[in-house]
Structure 1
């Protein structure tokens, strides 16, 4: 498997969380006291802990423990209520934010059968890539039509905390430049190339007047697919921890982050899926999604500046170079 794609070799943001048997029983008891046949820690994910739990009856659920953000579960519950009849997502069976049995909020969710789109694309045929990317474009077009009054971060009740001046691309880039660890890691040449690119193109971010539900981690590692009538279709969109109200162009940039390392049909099929309902993309969309990507990538570096995640940082630096160095 190509480890230079889709965060495959990125380190976790926190240590792996292992649950004890007595803790597991206590967490599951309010949902069911059926005997447990097996429990597996899922390997994907860079922050939270996800366990596949199989009961003797055959019932299978996902136990999701929110390690990074104690308010993420509250937001995810609200988002699920908003989108459950619009897009495919796992059902939430039970939640607990009381911290009575565990120091973290957790949810017991429906187990959705399927394959990670990431795995299908990396090892799949051209036909598989076309089907997956096209279906992801159609899914993004659905998110594009779930509007919000303004852009900003979600509070636990999905009210909006508007972006401040500190959240602009210029402000974020200045933060990175003034952080010695980041400035040294990126080097003068890349920092200058970033400065030139931002100066030339940042005006394209100033005319954003519409906001929609934005997943903000919309890449094939968070999308489950399943064959239906011998064609890959979306089974579920996972992991809404970073969701906010913003432009769908941010999610476009995330999905196309590695498109230059994949066959051109990956990008083309994704765009066809977005435009499937005869809704064209805005002018300069290619540059706009790159600007959104710069925000995401620079945020990753800044938020992890004191963490030892060499694979992630190496990949982010390479992606920044791919955007601004011709």
Structure 2
């Protein structure tokens, strides 16, 4: 699960004085007790900040590598989900995209305790892993209960500012670009590239079997972005927060299913428990859902591969994942 992947940009390094200045811009009397960089995430930068103002509290300071629009989108999503309370998140306390104190947009979020789903699956008991997989599936179903009039990328207030319908024509157009005109195709072995193109052409019509549902798609829903708590009394696992909404958009729910099951063989224990939780909480599956999830994930994998020319670990893993997808069907 993304082991050894290179960051897309160097982590932002702040001095204690810089962190103090950021926090004091929110609470003028606040004193930062400590600020520790957190080594999770592959694009943005994150600090755990312990603050006294005057009572002690802990926050996550998130520094964004992209435009203020990404910060605003995450803040809009946090407000939406916080109001409803069905999906655990880290609420945004303060946001600043002005560039006045820091060149990059930044925000303060409430700190959420727990370990990543990835850590729990590696360290926890079998019962804890099964419970965690089911809870991650149920949480995803609750995310997908938020629908939109059409698929596309969000603008202000979570309006769909850039419509994008992933029908067979759009799917093949994107894949053809990455395979034959983009960088991704030059990184793939020629035989794998041709087989992948054949696979996509054969199965693209399945994308028109069912009308595309436009729901809230996290678009990076994986074991690193689901934070878990385990109750020591009974070993029961629950989702503490779903993190990192920077890639979210309105689209096909199978994008998230394909992302979470990217490393899972069909019928694995994790897949079965994850999908049980998804269905239990009202998630909707169409015929050939697994194929649709794989097709959606091919788009994501090629997009990632297109930017991996200078990232050997990332490139190797993505090529292996694309090859694994083909072996499932060919």
**TM-score using structure 2 length:** 0.91
Of 5, 13, 36, which residue of structure 1 is paired with 2:8? 13
In the alignment, is the contact (CA less than 8 A) between 1:88 and 1:234 conserved in 2? yes
Of 222, 235, 244, which residue of structure 2 is paired with 1:239? 244
Partner of 2:39: 43
- Report the 3-state secondary structure (helix = DSSP H, G, I; strand = E; otherwise coil) of the residue aligned with 1:220: coil
In the alignment, is the contact (CA less than 8 A) between 1:148 and 1:211 conserved in 2? yes
Structure 1: gaps spanning 5 or more residues: 1-5
In structure 2, relative to structure 1, the CA distance for the partners of 1:277 and 1:36 (3 Å cut) is closer
Partner of 1:81: 79
Query: How far off is 1:131 after superposition?
Result: 1.0
Partner of 2:297: 293
Deviation string 1:268-320 (CA, Å, 9 cap, x unpaired) is: 00010011146652100010000000010011112x15x51111111000000
Partner of 2:317: 315
Give yes or no for the alignment of 1:112 onto 2:112: yes
Structure 2: gaps spanning 5 or more residues: none
Give yes or no for the alignment of 1:163 onto 2:159: no
- Structure with the bigger RCO (C-alpha within 8 Å, sep 6+) is 1
Query: How far off is 1:178 after superposition?
Result: 2.5
- Report the 3-state secondary structure (helix = DSSP H, G, I; strand = E; otherwise coil) of the residue aligned with 1:88: coil
Deviation string 1:213-257 (CA, Å, 9 cap, x unpaired) is: 010000010011102453010000011000000111110001101
In structure 2, relative to structure 1, the CA distance for the partners of 1:26 and 1:245 (3 Å cut) is same
| Separation (CA, whole Å) in 1 of partners of 2:3 and 2:36 | 19
Partner of 1:140: 140
In the alignment, is the contact (CA less than 8 A) between 2:19 and 2:35 conserved in 1? no
Q: Aligned pairs, how many?
A: 318
